[in-house]
Amino acid sequence: MKIRVLGKGLEVSEIGLGCMGMSHGYGIPADKNEMIALIRFAVGKGVTFFDTAEVYGPYINEELVGEALEPYRKEVVIATKCGIKMANGKQVVDGKPEAIRKSIEGSLKRLKTDFIDLYYLHRVDPSVPIEEIAEVMKDLYKQGKIRHWGLSEAGIQTIRRAHAVFPLTAVESEYSMWWRQPEEELLPALEEVGIGFVPFSPLGKGFLTGRFDRNTTFGKEDLRPIYPRFSAEAMEANQSIVGFVKSLAIEKNATPAQIALAWVMAQKQWIVPIPGTTNLGRLEENLGSTAIELTPEDIARINEALGKIPVMGDRYPVEFAKRAGL
C-alpha cells in the first residue's frame, strides 16, 4: 500500500475506509464483532486511514472504530467529525464553539484515544463565522486534542477564509465518475493552497458497481431512496454510465468498483478516497483498485466519454442540498 500526503504533512494510505455504513445510513447496523474484524483486516492490508463521525448512529460508529483500532492506535489515522447533532429525530447543524468543545470530549472517549488525527467540521453552520470555528480548532490543536482539521462539504470562499486563520489539512466532499462537480472549482482551489481532498461515495453510493437498477428495493433504514438519483426512473436512465464503467473493467481486467476507485485516485496524488463496505470480499476488491494503472491517456479518454453521458437526478434532496457548499 502506497502512502499519500494530505495537506502539509498528514501521511495516510492511498485509499482509506469509510466506516459510516457499518452503523448508519445503509440499512440495519452490521454485526459489531464482524465489523471489528473487517476494520482490523483492513489494517493488516495496509490501510491506515479510517473515517467516522459523531452523528453516525449517533455515537455507535465512533465506539466501533475506537474499539477496533485501539490495538493499532499508533499505526493509524482516525478522522471524525463534529457539527451535526440529532434533534427530534432529525439532523441539525450546530457549529457553535461550545458544541465543538463538547463534541471533541465525547469523540476522544468513544474512540479510546488522547487525540484525533483529523477533525472535520461536518457541515458549515451559517450562523457561526468560519473564522470563529477555525480559532476553536486552533485552540484544540494547541491543547493536543487534534493534530489536523478539515471541512466537509464546504464552499470555496469558506475554505479560503478558514485556511487563512488556521491551515486546513483536508476537505471532504462527494466525488465520483457520476458526480464530477468538484473538478470545476473545488479541486483547483485546493491544489492552489495545498489542501488534500478526501472523496466520500467514490462508488456513487454503490451505484457504479452495477448492483442496482429500477427494480432494486432498499431496506427501511437505508437512506438511498431519499436521494433523487436513486429513484427508479433515475436508476434506469443512469444505467448508461454503469455500462461504460463495466466496459472499462473488461478492458482493464478489473471490476467496475476497481475502475471507479482507480479513476478517482488517478486524478491527483493528494486525493484519498474512503469507500465504505460491510463485506470482507468487497473490501478486498476495493483495495485491489490500488493495483489498477490508468495512464494520463486513459484518464483523458475516460473523462471525455464521461462528459458525454448525461446523468439524471440531483445528488441530494432539497433539505440536504441546503447544507452543502456553504
Give the residue numbers annotated as catalytic, written as ranges: 56
Neighbours of 307 (CB within 10 A): 9
- The sign of the torsion formed by the CA atoms of 41, 65, 319, 220 equals positive
Q: Report whether 291 contacts 266 (CB < 8 A).
A: no
Q: Residue 309: which of 187, 194, 192, 179 has the closest Cα?
A: 179
Neighbours of 123 (CB within 10 A): 25
- Side chain identity, residue 292: I
- Dist CA 142 CA 152 (whole Å): 22
Q: Is 241 helix (H, G, I), strand (E, B) or coil?
A: helix
Determine phi and psi for 85, rounding to 5 degrees: -125, 165
Side-chain-side CA neighbours of 160 within 13 Å: the count stands at: 10
Q: Report whether 321 contacts 289 (CB < 8 A).
A: no
- Dist CA 326 CA 173 (whole Å): 12
